[in-house]
Amino acid sequence: MKSYLAAAIQMTSVPNLHKNLVQAEELIDLAVRRGAELVGLPENFSFMGEEKDKLAQAAEIYSETAQFLTKMAQRFQVTILGGSFPVPVDNTGKVYNTTLLIDPNGHELARYYKVHLFDVNVPDGNTYRESSTVMAGKELPSVYFSEQLGNIGLSVCYDVRFPELYRHLSDKGADVMFVPAAFTAFTGKDHWQVLLQARAIENTAYVIAPAQTGNNYGRRQTHGHAMIIDPWGVILADAGDVPGIAIAEIKPSRLEQVRRQMPSLEHRVF
Is 164 catalytic? The answer is: no
Segment 116-120 long-range contacts (CB within 8 Å, at least 24 positions apart):
116/158, 116/159, 116/161, 116/162, 116/165, 117/158, 118/157, 118/158
Residue 105, judged by CB atoms within 10 A of its CB (0-12, 13-18, 19+), counts as: exposed
Is 25 catalytic? The answer is: no
Q: Which of 26, 37, 60, 114 is labelled catalytic?
A: 114
Q: Which of 37, 43, 54, 251 is labelled catalytic?
A: 43
Q: Which of 2, 71, 108, 157 is labelled catalytic?
A: 157
What is the rounded distance in angstroms from the CA atom of residue 207 to the CA atom of residue 153? Answer: 9
Identity of the residue numbered 227: M
Is 50 catalytic? The answer is: no
Contacts of 164 (CB under 8 A, 6+ apart): none
Which residues are marked as active site? 43, 114, 157
